[in-house]
Chain A
Amino acid sequence: MREIAQMFPQVVVDGLTLGFVYALVALGYTMIYGVLEFINFAHSEVFMFGAFAGTEVLLALKASGLMATFTPVGSLFVSLLAGTVLTGLLGVVMEKIAYRPLRSAPRLVPLISAIGVSFFLQDAVRLVEGLWHNAFYVSAPTLFAGGWSPSPTVRIPTKSMILILVCLGIMLGLSLFVGRTKLGKALRAVAQDQATSSLMGINVDRIISLTFLIGAGLGGAAGTLFSLQYTLIHPYVGFILGIKAFTAAVFGGIGSIPGAMVGGVLLGVFEAFASAFLGPLTHGAFGAEYKDVFAFIILILVLIFKPSGLLGQSATEKA
C-alpha cells in the first residue's frame, strides 16, 4: 500500500499528460460525429499522419539549423502549425474523396470506406517513410529537456507541462470558436439539422468540410504533441490510441465537445492507474499489459449502461 501511495502523484501526472492527448483526438471524433453522425474510423490514422507531419517538420528544422534561431518555443509553434494545417487538409481531402459520395448511402457503407481510408493511410505513410528514410520508425528531436520535481518521488517534465498548456489553449480556442463565432453557430446548426440549416442559407457542404478541417487539424496537433512527448512514432501508433480516444469521446458523451475533453482526461488518468497499480494490487498476476483491455472494457460498459456518456444528452437514440 505504501508503494501505491508513493507512486500516486507521478501516476496522476502521467495520466493527465496522456489524457490530454486522448482529449484532443477525441474532439476530432466528436466533432465529426456531431455533424455527420458518422464515426470517422480513419481519425486514428489522421492523428498518426499529424505525428509524422509535425516530426518531419521538426527534423527538417533541425537539419537546416533553423531550430537554433527559432528557439524551442518557436520550433514547437512552427511544427505544431504545420502538423495541424497539413493534417487538416488531409481531412478535407479524405472527406471529399471517400465520404462525400457516400453521404446518402446506408450507414455501413461510409464506415467501411473509412476503414479503407485508415488502412490506406497506414501503409501510405509507411511506404513514403520507407522510401524516404529506409525506416518507418521515426524519433522526434527533443525540444524541452528539463523538468520540475516538487518532491523526490514526483517529476513533471517540461514537455508534459507544455503539452497540457497547449491542449488547454486549443480547447479554449475551439470552445470560443464553436460557441461565439458565426461560423461556429453555422456548425452547430448543421449538426442539429442539415436540411433546415441549408434552408437558412448555410452552405452545408462547406461546413462539413470545415468540420473535417478542424477535426483532423486537432488530430494533427495531438499527433505532433504526442511525438514530442513520447518521441518514437510509427505508422501503427494511431490505431490503439485512436480507439481509446474514441472510447474517451463515448465516455464523455459523443457529440459533446466538453464531454470529449472530460472523457479524454479521465480515461488517461484511469489508464495510468490501471497500468501502474494493476500489478501491485494483484501481486503481479496481471500487470500493465492489460491496460488496453481496461480501456475496451470501459468502452463496452459505458455503451451498455450509459450510452449517452457523462455529458451527452441526445446520444441514446444513436447508440
Chain B
Amino acid sequence: MAKVKAMMSRVWQRNSGNPLVIGGLILATAALVMILPRSAVGFALFLASLFALFWAKLEPRHKLVMGVISLVVLLPVIGILNRYYMDVAIQIGIYMALALGLNIVVGLAGLLDLGYVAFYATGAYVWAIFGSKQAAKFMHVGTYPLRGEYFWLFLVIGVVAAACAGILLGLSVLRLKGDYLAIVTLGFGEIIRIVLNNLDKPVNFTNGPNGITAVQAPALFGLSLGQGIDYYFIVLGLVLLVITVSRRLQESRIGRAWEAIREDEVAAVSMGIPVVKAKLLAFAMGASFAGAMGVVFASKQNFVDPSSFSFMESIGVLSMVILGGMGSVTGALVGAVIVTVLQLQILKSVSDYFSYLRNAGILNLPAQLEIAKYEKFVFGIILIIMMIYRPTGIIPSERRRLELEGKGSRGDTGTGGPPEGGKAVPTSSTGTGAAGLGGGGY
C-alpha cells in the first residue's frame, strides 16, 4: 500500500507540471464518459481529473484556460449527449454550495448545525410559492405565477429570507454549545419541515404534503431558461461565486474570528471578538448559500414538497463537510462530489447489479430489498470511520488539523474544573466556554 502511494506521488510529482499530461487526462476521461455512457466509473474519473487540474502545478494561465474549457465546453457537451450526467452535474453543484455554507457554520465557527436543510427549504419555498399559482391562494394582489424574470429577484429574496431564518435560529441557540446546539438545530429543522407539511390550513400557504407544482423556470429578457444546460450555467455561476465568497471570508478578519471562537470561546471573548455578532453572522452566511440554492432547486425540480427537506438531507450535507475536511473549502467541494456521486451513481449501480443478479436467478434476494435506498447505512459507516481514523477529513484545513492532531485531551476532569494553566486548553471542553456566555457555571 505504502509502495503504491509512493509511486503515485512520484508520478504526480513528475507530471503535474505538464499541461499536456493534465489536458490529456481530462480529454481522455471525457472521451471515456462519452464512449461508456452507462458507466459510473467514467464520470467519476472525469470529475477526478478536474480536481487533478485544480491541484496541478501549472501556470495559472494554462489552468484557467483548461478549467474554463472543461467546465464550459466539455461538461455541458457530456450533459447534452447524456441528460443524466447533466442532472448529476447540477446536483453536485447544488450540494457544493450547500456544503460550503454548512462548512462556514460547522467547519469554521464550530457550531454543529443538524437542521441546515431548513434554510434550503426556506429558499425553495420562497420561490415555489410565488413562482407558481400557489401564491394566488392567499394573496389577492397581483397575478401569479410571477414571470420567470422574477427568478433573479427571488434569488436575492431567498438569500435574505434564509439569512433571516439563520439569524433567528442563531439567536435562540446563542447560549448553547456542542451537543445541545446539535439537538436544538435538529429540532429547528424538523419544526420547519413539520410546519411546511401542515401549513395548508387554516390558510393554504404551502399546500401541505402534496407540495407545490409547476414552479416557473427562470427567464431572461423573455427567454425561458428551463433547460438542463441553463440550470447548469446558473449553478456553475453561483458555485463560483460561493467559492470566492467562502475563500475570501475564511481569510478575512471575520473568518479568523470564527476559527478563534471554534478553538476557544473564552479566549476569543477576551481578545475582544464580538462573539454574538460573529456567531449570528456565521449562521446567516451559511444559511444564505442554502437559500440561493433552494431557489434554484425549486425551479429546476419544478416541484417542491416537504419530503425533500428531511433530516437525512442535513446529514448528507454534513457528511460532505466531514468527509472533505471541516473548515476546508476544497474539502467541502471534494466531499460534495464524492457523496453525490456515491448517492446518485455508485449506490445505484450496485443496486442495479444486485437486481441483475436477482433477475438472473444467481442470488435469492427478496424483491423488497433495494440497495440504492441504503444510503444511511453507507453514510453511517463513513461518519464513524472518518471520526475514528481521520477526523480531519480527506483534505484537512491546516488549522483544523493542528487542533485535532496536534493537541489532544479533552479535560476528563468532568464537571467544569478550571482549565489547567500550562496545558493547551481543549476546544469546547466541559463548561469553560459556557461560563463566559452567561451560562453562569462556577
Contacts and interface: CB of A to CB of B under 8 A. Distances in A.
Interface of A: 37-39, 41, 97-98, 101-113, 115-124, 126-127, 130-131, 134-135, 191-195, 239-240, 243, 246, 250, 284-286, 289-290, 292-293, 296-297, 299-300, 303-304, 307, 314, 316-319
Contact of B191 (A106, A130, A293): A293
Given A120-B380, A123-B377, A300 B410 contact: no
Contacts of A286: 198, 202
Interface string B386-421: 011001000000000001100011101111100000
* List of 10 A-B pairs having minimum Cβ-Cβ separation, nearest first: A317-B441, A116-B383, A120-B380, A119-B380, A123-B377, A296-B187, A317-B431, A134-B366, A116-B384, A113-B387
Given A105-B391, A116-B381, A119-B377, A285 B434 contact: no
B179 A39 contact: yes
B366 A130 contact: yes
A297 B194 CA distance: 12
A101 B388 contact: yes
A165 B374 CA distance: 38
Given A39-B179, A111-B182, A299-B184, A116 B414 contact: no
B415 A192 contact: yes
Interface in B179-212: 179-180, 182-184, 186-188, 190-191, 194-195, 197-198, 201-202
B440 A316 contact: yes
Contacts of A117: 380, 384
B388 A107 contact: no
A72 B190 CA distance: 39
B405 to A, nearest CB: 10
A113 B322 CA distance: 11
Contact of A194 (B183, B414, B427, B434): B414
15 contacts: A98-B388, A103-B410, A105-B410, A107-B179, A119-B383, A123-B374, A192-B415, A194-B413, A243-B183, A284-B202, A286-B198, A297-B191, A307-B180, A307-B439, A318-B180
Contacts of B318: 112, 115
Contacts of A101: 388
B172 interface: yes
Residue of A102, A116, A303 with most chain B CB atoms under a 10 A cut-off: A116
Given A104-B408, A134-B367, A111 B179 contact: yes
Nearest to A104: B409
B412 A110 contact: no
B322 A112 contact: yes
Most-contacted residue by chain B among A37, A39, A41 (CB, 10 A): A37
Given A127-B377, A130-B366, A285-B202, 5 more contacts: A98-B388, A104-B410, A111-B182, A112-B112, A307-B439
Contacts of B381: 116, 120
A112 to B, nearest CB: 5
B178 A293 contact: no
A191 B435 CA distance: 20
Contact of B435 (A109, A110, A285, A317): A317
B179 A38 contact: yes
B253 to A, nearest CB: 24
Given A37-B430, A106-B426, A120-B381, A319 B177 contact: yes
B320 to A, nearest CB: 13
B218 interface: no
Contacts of B388: 98, 101-102, 113
Interface in B207-255: none
Contacts of B42: none
Nearest to B407: A106
Given A102-B387, A192-B414, A296-B187, A119 B379 contact: yes
B384 A120 contact: yes
A292 to B, nearest CB: 6
Interface string B247-266: 00000000000000000000
Contacts of A38: 179
Given A194-B412, A296-B187, A106 B404 contact: yes
Interface in B355-390: 365-369, 374, 376-377, 379-384, 387-388
A116 B416 contact: no
B376 A122 contact: yes
Nearest to A102: B387
A286 B367 CA distance: 40
Nearest to B312: A119
A240 B179 CA distance: 17
Interface string B267-305: 000000000000000000000000000000000000000
Chain B CB count within 10 A is highest, among A115, A117, A299, for A115
Contacts of A319: 175-177, 180, 434, 439
A289 B194 CA distance: 8
Contact of B183 (A106, A112, A246): A246
B347 to A, nearest CB: 12
A219 to B, nearest CB: 17
Contacts of A195: 412-414
A134 B414 CA distance: 47
A243 B114 CA distance: 13
A79 to B, nearest CB: 25
Nearest to A100: B388
B315 interface: yes
B194 A293 contact: yes
A41, A240, A300, A319: residue with the most chain B Cβ atoms closer than 10 Å: A319
